[in-house]
Amino acid sequence: MTATDFLDRRDAELDLGPATWGWRGRARRWSGGLIRPKMGAKETSYHEDRRLIQKDFDGPRTIAFINPKGGAAKTTSVLAAGFTFGTVRGGGVVAWDNNETRGTLGIRGSRSAHRNTTRELLEDLGRFKDVYQSRIGDLGAFVRSQGDAHFDVLASDERPDVTGVIHAKDFAEVHQLLERFYRVILVDTGNNMRAENWLAAAEAADLLVVTSTVREDTGYSGLWMLDALQDAGYANLKYKTITVLSDPSDKVDPRLAQDLTQVYEQRTRGVYRVPYDPVLVAGSVVPYHQLSAETTRSWLRACAGMAAAL
């Protein structure tokens, strides 16, 4: 056994410690630590999900959130995933609104002292051409820090004029820049599958996340999109795609939810249900600290599934 083998074995055998949840945790506390029961299945699963999210990648990873229908929870999914990856990994995460027109990621994310967006970044890309002189701090003039959520937001064009389009070349240049400074890039796509930047995002992504609510129209739209991508020749589509299925209200049709789960399990490598949370659907800036425990746990599980697929 080499020295490296020894450390690897020790890491694999690492004890997570005594339980802190439920009756096991209470027994440990009440006994002053004399009774030290092991973690239960739920607590062990929680730590395993965190470990998956914190895994090392051999390069930057791009995750594109897709569904051509508006109201399919793409933006809220990107923000929830940004919060989860950011806090669990400790940073190195950016959420990018790659909308061909005006998206809402910049509106739903925390405000910044500047109002710069992808458009302004494209106009000033020259300052980042020298890879030896440009710094991640320079991107602070374009991205918006999400504070304790430990990720940044790059908003889409917010100018009131109707001219200007983000082309595939523009996407490639911005994506290449973000790959220099971030480990995880979460892309919020628009609703036009024929837009150059939408197609460029789908092509560049290491993982596609189909977002849908428990509604027949959004569920159908996601399936139609998968059909279109498959017909367009996208290889290994099931292998590189997962589904996040969100509850649009506190009461959903259980039969529809079951149907959507079953059909998306056939089309993607995994389906993750996330509950209704009024904090996410209010339409305002997301106060991450107000997310329910059920929401944060569900997103931890979903992001662990994403990390495992990368």
Cα separation, 95 vs 154, in Å, equals 6
Per-range mean pLDDT, top range of 96-110, 132-146, 202-216: 202-216
pLDDT at 29 over 80: no
Provide the residue type at 2 as one letter. Answer: T
pTM: 0.90
Q: What is the pLDDT of residues 63-108, one digit of tens each?
A: 999 999 989 999 999 999 999 999 999 999 999 999 877 778 888 8
Among the residue ranges 40-44, 81-85, 255-259, the one predicted with the least confidence is 40-44
Contact predicate 209/62, CB 8 Å: no
What percentage of the chain reaches a pLDDT higher than 70?
Answer: 89
Which distant-in-sequence residues (6+ apart) come within 8 Å of 218 by Cβ?
A: 67, 69, 71, 72, 73, 212
- When pLDDT is averaged across residues 225-254 and rounded to a whole number, the result is 93
Give the pLDDT mean for 229-251. Answer: 93
182-208 pLDDT tens trace = 999 999 998 999 999 999 999 999 999
C-alpha to C-alpha distance for 235 and 281, rounded to whole angstroms: 34
Residue owning tokens 């939810």: 257
What is the DSSP track for 102-113?
--SHHHHSPP-S
User: Cα 223 to chain center, whole Å?
Assistant: 20
Q: Do strands 61-66 and 207-213 pair parallel, antiparallel, or not at all (unpaired)?
A: parallel
Q: Is the pLDDT of residue 162 over 60?
A: no
pLDDT of residue 240: 95
Asked whether the predicted pLDDT for residue 246 surpasses 90, the reply is yes
Which residue from 309, 280, 310 is spatially nearest to 295, judged by alpha carbons? Answer: 280
What amino acid occupies position 241?
A: T
Count Cα atoms within 13 angstroms, Cβ side, for 285: 12
Q: Would you state the structure tokens that stand for residue 179, as one six-digit string? A: 């790959």
